[in-house]
Structure 1
Amino acid sequence: MSQTAPRRKSRASSGLPPITADKIIDSAVELTAERGLDGWSIRQVSTKLGVWPGVIAHHVGDRDAVVMGVTDRVISRIPVPDADVPWREWFRTLMLEGRAVLRRYPGVARRMVVVGPNVPSALSTIDIGIRVLLDAGFGEHATQVYRYLLNSAFMLVAVEDDRGDYPTARADMGRVMAAFAGDDTRPGLAAAAAEAIAREANPADVADHELAFFRFTVERSLDGAEAMLRPPAESADH
């Protein structure tokens, strides 16, 4: 006498809430915060939800579709300044707030820079940001300036994310530089050594150093963009 396998209960009959695309993205976002954007698989998302991988494909699609959903969700959490904020303050705020959000989800910043912020939640930010630059007088260069500013800032976030894969890199670099401390014949390396030694003296302050360097990068990028708004210097003949 043949026996049939017991039928699996539906989620509804088991008293479980239905699976939706939003729930799938929620789980993938949580895994991204824990493991990075490249650190999870569709099977791990399905295990977290207690469903078969095919359910993910049915509601969202393949892994890249889920990654797009995660990227969209993360970008939507970056506060966007109002369009009437002066251009320099607008971008400073967006980049600093963006870093705070993106650092919680390793890998998303790199995808934004490499692939582009090609998700729905980014479109209004792009529109407002370029309009702010047009109003500031950047004219035909507005779109390039927008890309330059955000790529400069968020590529640095990607580097900060990636540095987690090399836990001894900072200390190793510090040891290399320390050999040149006080070397008057190589003043550039001596200056780098002094800074490296100062950083290593307070390893608990690494996060503060990273934020300070990010702020420095943002301000110098803004300086470079602002220089485009100044009239060309008059020639010496006049």
Structure 2
Amino acid sequence: MTVPASTPFHLGLTPERIIDAAQQLTRESNLFGWSIRDLARRLQVTPSVIYHHVGGKDLLAKRVAERVIASIHAPDGALEWQEWFRRLLIDAVYPAAVSHPGVAKWLLMHGVPFPSAAGIFEVGIGKLERAGIEPGALIAYSAIMNNATLTISMGDERLLHEEDGPRDHAAMMAEFQRAYTDHPRMAALSDEFIAGFAEGGETAARLREQYYRYVVEVTLTGVASGAGPA
């Protein structure tokens, strides 16, 4: 689409509307999967209008990630620390992040420099301190959050390749079967675990969530092994 220079398509356009569109594009693809030109086409403006109102892709990505973080609310503060983190990661972080592919990767790269996350951080650190976690609450908090975020990011990366199609899926599984012919345990791993991820769609989504829940539980159990008296 060609936008005439004299056409005031940007009238009524606000930074919030631009971020709305950027967030929607992220839901539909991946935070790293769309460009300023894609966003401009969605809004029917020239790319220069986007830069004028908000800035470049880096700043837009930050604003989308900030919105996702702001949508996450801390669980009941009365919960025991493991259950508090379980509810935070499974009920709040996971649905917010997986519905915005690429945001988890952005957070791993940039951290969480948003005031809206401060309250969650304070409560989480406080709970770990009161539990007497060793070698320290800050390290434990980082391990818990990073393990969860990294797992979501890995799932997002797989999503980018799900559209490779049945041909690539079939070729991948045939290759695993040839490689593991004489190794029954590895063949079982291929058939029962890898195949589901490679299949994509609802099967892969279910396995990603199942794996995420397992990572959360294993991480919390590992952190608990360094807990002092309650």
Give the TM-score normalised by the residue count of structure 1: 0.78
Deviation at 1:161, TM superposition (A): 0.7
**Gaps spanning 5+ residues in structure 1: where?**
13-17, 184-188, 232-238
Deviation at 1:172, TM superposition (A): 5.5
Pairing partner for 1:63 from 57, 75, 81: 57
Contact preservation (8 Å) 1:71, 1:119: no
Contact preservation (8 Å) 1:181, 1:194: no
From the two aligned structures, give the one with the greater helix fraction. Answer: 2
Equivalents in 2 of 1:171, 1:150: separation in Å? 35
Equivalents in 2 of 1:23, 1:201: separation in Å? 38
Deviation at 1:38, TM superposition (A): 1.1
- Alignment partner, residue 124 of structure 2: 129
Moved more, 129-138 or 214-223: 129-138
- Alignment partner, residue 163 of structure 1: 158
Q: Is residue 213 from structure 1 mapped to residue 211 from structure 2 by the alignment? A: yes
Contact preservation (8 Å) 1:133, 1:142: yes
Equivalents in 1 of 2:5, 2:85: separation in Å? 59
Equivalents in 1 of 2:67, 2:80: separation in Å? 27
Deviation at 1:41, TM superposition (A): 1.7
- Alignment partner, residue 8 of structure 1: 7
Aligned residue pair count: 217
Equivalents in 2 of 1:36, 1:127: separation in Å? 30
Deviation by residue 1:115-167 (Cα, 9 ceiling, x = unmatched) = 11122332222222212212222277111111101111110111111112333
Equivalents in 2 of 1:198, 1:6: separation in Å? 57
Contact preservation (8 Å) 2:31, 2:102: yes
Contact preservation (8 Å) 1:28, 1:66: yes
Q: 1:206 to 1:7 in 2, by over 3 A?
A: closer
- Alignment partner, residue 84 of structure 1: 78
Q: 1:147 to 1:170 in 2, by over 3 A?
A: farther
The answer to which structure, 1 or 2, has the higher relative contact order (CA under 8 A, 6+ apart) is 2
Contact preservation (8 Å) 1:179, 1:193: no
Deviation at 1:28, TM superposition (A): 0.4
Contact preservation (8 Å) 1:153, 1:217: yes
**Gaps spanning 5+ residues in structure 2: where?**
none
Pairing partner for 1:150 from 140, 145, 150: 145
Deviation by residue 1:29-57 (Cα, 9 ceiling, x = unmatched) = 00111121111122322232233333323
Give the TM-score normalised by the residue count of structure 2: 0.81
